[in-house]
Structure formats: C-alpha cells, structure tokens
Structure 1
Amino acid sequence: MWGLVLLLLLPMPVFADALVATRLIRATEVVREGDVAVQRGHIAGAATDPVQVVGLEARVAIYPGRPVRLADLGPAAVVERNDSVVMVYRQGGLTILSEGRALGRAALGDMVTVMNIASRQSVQGRVTSFGQVEVGTMTTP
C-alpha cells in the first residue's frame, strides 16, 4: 500500500511537443506554416504550437531539425535599411511631414534612426506604419 502511495508521489516525466525547423530558416526570414513541424519531446524554450511562430521573423539562422525557440523570433520588420520613409512630427495641433531615409531595420513600434533628406540630420523615431516614422516628442506605448 505504501509503495503505491510513494509511486504516486514521485514526479513523473511530462511529455510535450516542441517545434523544429523543417528547412533552413535564414535570419530576417519570416516563418511560414511549412517551415516548422511538431516533434515529440520537451525542449526548454522551444515553441509548442505553430500558431506561436508563423508570421514572426527569425533573428538568427535556424537549421533543419533544430528547435524553434521563441527567443530567436520577433515581429517582422516593416522598414528596411535605406528605405524611404515619411517622417511625422506632431506637437499639439501641428503636424509636419518630411522625407527621410531609414538607417536600420525595424518592426512596428520599434525605434529606428532616420536621416532627414533635406537637412541630413539623423533623428530617432518610432515606426507607426509601413514607411512611416513618428519623430520628435513621442509618448511611450
């Protein structure tokens, strides 16, 4: 009887699924449905459901058969380095638009350095939509 109680109290291994890459996913590439497969077994830090990773961008190269870790993924960039962007400055009721060039890659909500084409000055701004960066006085989200 005590043996049965001890057996029930011992920690039992938990079996879970983990996602692994089915092909080489290069850094900056967006993960698609066919790029990952479910594998039996628990891998620390690995995603467990394709819904978690599809549409995210790889921050590092993920090799076939290797686990797809959530730490290696992030939101997809909507502004690429050297893209032409619209710089938006808002203060009260005043809105100023200017053309700029992105000096880095960024996803929605990320900060990026932008060079004003007219003045050649570089400023920091937050990406608010595709090709649009809000500069100047900004509130944190």
Structure 2
Amino acid sequence: MRWIGILLLTAGIASADMVTPTRTLRPGTVITAADLVLRDAAHPGTFDRVLDVVGQEARVALYAGRPIPFEAIGPPAIINRNQIVPLFFNVGGLSITTDGRALERGGIGDRIRVMNLSSRATLFGFVQEDGSIKVTR
C-alpha cells in the first residue's frame, strides 16, 4: 500500500506541464493563445501556465517545441527606439520635466536608456503607463 502512495506521488511530480510555442516567434511578436501549447514535461526556469505567457512580447526568438524561459518574454513595448518621450525627474522638492529620445524599446516597468535632448546626456529611467519616462539617478 505504501508503494502505491509513493508511485502516485512520483507520477504527480513527473506530470508537470511546460509551455512551448507552436511555431517560431520572432522578437517583438505579441504572443497569443494560438501560438502556444502545453507539453507534459517539466523544465526549471520556464513557464507552466499558458495564461502567464499570453499577451506578453517575445524578447528573443522563441522556437517551436522549446520551453519558454522566464527572461525570454516581457510586457509589450509601448516605447520604440528613437521615439521622443517626456522625461520626469523628481527628488525631494525638485521636479524637472523635459523631452528625451528613447535609445531602446521598452514596455511598462522596463528600465531603458534615454538621451536628454537639451544636454545630450544619456540617462536611465523606467517606462510609465502613460508612455513617459521616470528618470532615476
């Protein structure tokens, strides 16, 4: 009886799922449910639920049948390279607002490089929901 319990426990662990693309997805592709399939295998550091992947953007090429690593996808980009974006810097009572040029693509919450158009200085900031950049030190 004890062996049956061990076999059932082992079978439950071995039957983990992993999400794989049904076709090769190029970087920048927004992933849909039709692009994914669940496979009966486990691979550490990869997604095991389709809903976690749908609506995300491929950061690198995703090949059919291969598991999708956590770092290979992210939120869809709302800022494109060379786009003019508003920059905001707030610290203490000081608030600076100016325009900048995005040097990278980025989605909400991504940290990207931007160039201040006035000073030509390269800065880093986080993409906000409204498409602006909150500059960090």
- RMSD of aligned Cα (Å): 2.4
After TM superposition, give the deviation of residue 9 of structure 1 in Å.
Answer: 4.1
**Equivalent position SS for 1:41:** coil
Matched, 1:61 2:61: yes
Corresponding residue pairs, total? 134
After TM superposition, give the deviation of residue 6 of structure 1 in Å.
Answer: 4.5
Do the aligned partners of 1:30 and 1:56 also contact (CA within 8 Å) in 2?
Answer: yes
After TM superposition, give the deviation of residue 130 of structure 1 in Å.
Answer: 3.9
After TM superposition, give the deviation of residue 20 of structure 1 in Å.
Answer: 1.6
After TM superposition, give the deviation of residue 54 of structure 1 in Å.
Answer: 0.8
**Aligned pair in 2 of structure 1 residues 7, 29: CA closer, same or farther (>3 Å)?**
same
**Aligned pair in 2 of structure 1 residues 45, 102: CA closer, same or farther (>3 Å)?**
same
Q: In the alignment, what sits opposite 2:10?
A: 12
Mapping 1:76-87, distance limit 5 Å? 76-87=76-87
**Equivalent position SS for 1:112:** strand
Gaps of 5+ in 2: none
- Once residues 100 and 24 of structure 2 are traced to their aligned partners in structure 1, the CA distance between those partners, rounded to angstroms, is 34
After TM superposition, give the deviation of residue 100 of structure 1 in Å.
Answer: 0.9
- Once residues 64 and 136 of structure 1 are traced to their aligned partners in structure 2, the CA distance between those partners, rounded to angstroms, is 38
- Cα deviations by residue, 1:84-103 (Å, 9 ceiling, x for unpaired): 10011234555432111011
Q: In the alignment, what sits opposite 1:89?
A: 89
TM-score using structure 1 length: 0.77
Identity of aligned residues (%): 35
After TM superposition, give the deviation of residue 128 of structure 1 in Å.
Answer: 1.8
After TM superposition, give the deviation of residue 31 of structure 1 in Å.
Answer: 1.2
Gaps of 5+ in 1: none
